[in-house]
Amino acid sequence: MDHQRGEDVVSDATAEVGSTLSDLGAKTGELVQDKVDQSKSVLRDLQESVAAAVDKTADLARKVSAPAVHAADAIQGVARDVGNQVGQAAGTVYEQGARAGGSVTRYTAEQPLTALVIAGAIGYGLAYLIHRP
């Protein structure tokens, strides 16, 4: 009878250990499943945040690039206009210089002695300015 009772105790203990292990396994499974679900939720939130950040960055890039393109176009237009004006001014100065040279040539041909005195006075004035202390 002791032998039978020992087997019953062992059988009951084994059943209780099995039940406890089964409960522990179930609880561990539930805990792991909860953690997996939480991780999925965190990953989903992170993915949504990254997608929103990418959308905002792309939108900001579009907003910044449009004014930059307009500014570059405006600068190119102004540079083109300034170049044209400088070209016109250079042409006008060249024409005036050519007319002045022609006038000096005619005056020198008509009044050689007066032209020589004027040239000497200009040369003396420049030399005086250069050698002045």
Predicted confidence at residue 53, as pLDDT, reads 82
Per-residue pLDDT tens, the chain, 133 aa: give them: 566 666 777 677 777 767 776 777 777 777 778 777 887 888 888 888 888 888 888 887 777 777 877 888 888 888 888 888 988 988 899 899 889 888 888 888 888 888 888 889 999 999 999 987 7
For residues 118 and 125, give the distance between their C-alpha atoms in angstroms, rounded to a whole number: 11
Domain hosting 51: range is 2-131
User: Tell me, what's the pLDDT at 1?
Assistant: 54
What pLDDT is attached to residue 6? 66
DSSP state of 124: H
Count of the separate structural domains present in the chain: 1
Instruction: Give the predicted TM-score (pTM) of the model.
Output: 0.42
Q: The dihedral of CA 67, 70, 72, 74: what is its sign?
A: negative
Burial of 130 (0-12, 13-18, 19+ CB in 10 A): exposed
